[in-house]
Structure formats: C-alpha cells, structure tokens
Amino acid sequence: MTLPRVLRDRLRLPVVASPLFIVSGPDLVVAQCTSGVIGSFPSLNARPQPVLREWLTDITTRLAKHDANNPEAPSAPYAVNLIVHKSNARLEEDLDTIVEFEVPIVITSLGARTDVNDAVHSYGGVVLHDVIDNTFARKAVAKGADGLIAVAAGAGGHAGTQSPFALIQEIRAWFDGPLLLSGAIAHGRAILAAQAAGADLAYIGSAFIASAEANADPRYKQMVVDSTASDIVYSNRFTGVHGNYLRGSVEAAGLDLDALTDSRSVVPNFGINEDPEPETKPQPKPWRDIWGAGQGIGAVGAVLPAAMIIARLSSEYAQARAALL
C-alpha cells in the first residue's frame, strides 16, 4: 500500500516524533516540523481545554509563516494525540477542536472508537492508533484506524513486552497499511532497522525529551542524557498500565525499587484530569514525578535543539544506508 501523502511528502526523515505528556508543546512541535519530521503533542498538554485552540492557532500560524519563507523546504505535518479512555472527561471537546482545525494526523491511545475515527475522516484526516500486540491491532483497524503504531519492548512510557521483530511480523502478515514502530529508537541506524523490519516510519520520543524546546524539568533532561538502558525500570505500579521509567526519578521520589512489584489493584491514573505542573505534595504523582523514558536513551549525549537532534539522526540514517550498499 502506498503511504498517504501526509505521511510521505515533506519529510526529511521517515520519522514521527511521539507525543510526550507535559513535555511536548508548540515550541517543540514547530521545531520538529520545520526540521522535517512529523511533530506531535497530547491534547491534554494544553490546559485548561480552551488552551488547545490557542496552541493549534500558534502552531498552524508559525508553520504557515515558515512555509512562506522557505518554499524550497516546507514544514512537515503535525499530529495531535487523543487519549481515548473513559477517564478522559474532555475527549469530546478536544475532538471538536481537532475537527475545527482539521488537524492532519490524529494519534489515538488507550482505546479505539469508531466515532472518533469517523470525525477525523470527515475532513480527510488520518488516524494512527498505538497498539502493543496483534490483537489490539486488529481491533483498531476494524474500528477504522488508518494506520498502526506498534509499541514494542523498550518504548518510553506505556509500552508492550514483545520484540519489535515479532510484533511487526505478525501485523504485516495481514495489514499492508501505514505502520510505525516505537521502541528504543534514538539513532539513525534504528530508523533504518525499523524500515527493514517492515515499518514505514519510526516513532521517536525519548530523544526529544533532552531537547532545548521540550517543556521538561531540566533535571529530567539531564537524567535522560546521563542514563542508559540499564537505568530503565518496567512497572505498572505508577499508572496501572505497564510502562518504562527512569530509575533515578523513582529513587528521587523516595520510592523503594525493591518493593515495586506489579500491582493490578492500582487505579489507572494517566494524569488526564490532574494539574501537570509541579507543586509541593506529600505523595509523588505519576508522569509529573516519575519520568518515562525508553531503552534507547544511551544514544542521547547532550541537551540540544530539536533541529540538531534531527540533523544527527539524519546523518546517522544516511551513513547506515550507505554502509549497506
């Protein structure tokens, strides 16, 4: 299947920058798009809800200005992530705003709904749904998703446990639509490997936490730089859903790693209806105090502007391709 133009044209690299809770905002999205990769942000980062309209106005205005000034190198499209979970009280409002702005790409997570997909399709938008196994992949496509994001072992935040090779192989056995791969991708070689395994695009998040434009605590950025795969812990103790987190942030929150056994009794908490801004509270909050990151962070050596991160990935990708010829 030929990729939709929105996922193919105007890309310097076959990359979608994944939406990062709290971390992704207009500055990072614009920097990513103007550097040639698809930038994205979770709608819930724009708080309160009316701020979402302000962010979309800001992003579209700045990208249009860039395109007018750089007709030879127009910006890549942008995407907005919707949490399709019953605990998201503002889903309908956010969806209405997305339709109003005709957001070109919508990434759905934690659930798949036909009505959400239909709303995006009403103006010609593309829906990508993230999945951790083949069963969820089939359900998402059956409900109208245009493409899939295979979230394999090693991905930052909520992640699966399957090998990327196994997950891509099973999905590609029946699905020839747009397929992205997420999981420990932070180097240009890994982007090429994702394509070789059968994905169309790589889905990269953790590398952009350590970007100048990221709305992340400076300690979070530096911890990403200083950490490696061995510093990642996998647990469902924090949100009720399994995910990968920086060991240092768990320890800094005063939690005992040895006591962090899997708990199915944890009430799901994705930070959906909470204030994400730091404040003094007796108990650590998931996502605010426990920092997500993927196993690929060993490739991150410094806090840099997003454009420089993308330039590095592009150079590494080109070198990897040349080495195989």
Specify the CATH number for the domain of residue 198.
3.20.20.70
Q: Which residue in 157, 220, 160, 154 sits closest to 187, CA to CA?
A: 154
pLDDT at 286: 63
Residue 115 sits in the same domain as residue 228: no
What is the mean pLDDT of the segment spanning 53-76? 98
| Main-chain dihedrals φ then ψ at residue 4, nearest 5 degrees | -55, 150
pLDDT at 241: 81
Higher pLDDT, 73 or 258: 73
Q: Containing domain of residue 282, as a range?
A: 218-295
163-195: pLDDT as tens digits: 999 999 999 999 999 999 999 999 999 999 999
- Are 203 and 222 within 8 A, CB to CB? no
Look at the chain and report how many structural domains it folds into.
2
Residue 260 has pLDDT above 90, yes or no: no
Residue 112 sits in the same domain as residue 181: yes
Residue 193 sits in the same domain as residue 237: no
pLDDT at 74: 97
Residue 257 sits in the same domain as residue 279: yes
What is the mean pLDDT of the segment spanning 236-249? 87
219-235: pLDDT as tens digits: 999 999 999 999 999 98
- In three-state form (DSSP H/G/I as H, E/B as E, the rest C), the secondary structure along the chain is CCCCHHHCCCCCCCEEECCCCCCCCHHHHHHHHHCCCEEEEEHHHCCCCCHHHHHHHHHHHHHHHHHHHCCCCCCCCEEEEEECCCCCCCHHHHHHHHHHHCCCEEEEECCCCHHHHHHHHCCCCEEEEEECCHHHHHHHHHCCCCEEEEECCCCCEECCCCCHHHHHHHHHCCCCCCEEEECCCCCHHHHHHHHHHCCCEEEECHHHCCECCCCCCHHHHHHHHHCCHHHEEEECCCCCCCEEEEHHHHHHCCCCHHHCCCCCCCCCCCCCCCCCCCCCCCCCCECCCECECCHHHHHCCCCECHHHHHHHHHHHHHHHHHHHC
Give the list of residues 6+ apart from residue 202 with CB closer than 8 angstroms, or none.
13, 14, 15, 16, 180, 181, 182, 185, 190, 191, 194, 195
Residue 291 sits in the same domain as residue 150: no
Share of the chain above pLDDT 90, in %: 82
Separation CA 316–CA 156 (nearest Å): 21
Residue 58 sits in the same domain as residue 154: yes
Residue 238 has pLDDT above 90, yes or no: no
Residue 269 has pLDDT above 60, yes or no: no
Residue 266 has pLDDT above 80, yes or no: no
95-105: pLDDT as tens digits: 999 999 999 99
Give the mean pLDDT of the chain: 92
What is the mean pLDDT of the segment spanning 54-62? 98
290-317: pLDDT as tens digits: 999 999 999 999 999 999 999 999 999 9
Residue 100 sits in the same domain as residue 13: yes
pLDDT at 276: 57
- Are 106 and 39 within 8 A, CB to CB? no
Residue 90 has pLDDT above 80, yes or no: yes
- Are 200 and 14 within 8 A, CB to CB? yes
Does the pTM surpass 0.85? The reply is: yes
Residue 170 sits in the same domain as residue 203: yes
Residue 200 sits in the same domain as residue 288: no
What is the mean pLDDT of the segment spanning 26-49? 98
Q: Which of 74-78, 150-154, 271-275, 291-295 has the lowest mean pLDDT?
A: 271-275
pLDDT at 101: 98
Residue 94 sits in the same domain as residue 173: yes
pLDDT at 287: 60
Taking the alpha carbons at both ends of the chain, their separation in whole angstroms is: 25
Q: Given pLDDT bands bounded at 50, 70 and 90, which one contains residue 265?
A: very low
Residue 273 has pLDDT above 90, yes or no: no
Residue 116 sits in the same domain as residue 56: yes
Residue 291 sits in the same domain as residue 315: no
pLDDT at 284: 64
- Are 249 and 291 within 8 A, CB to CB? yes
Q: Which residue in 324, 321, 308 sits closest to 37, CA to CA?
A: 308
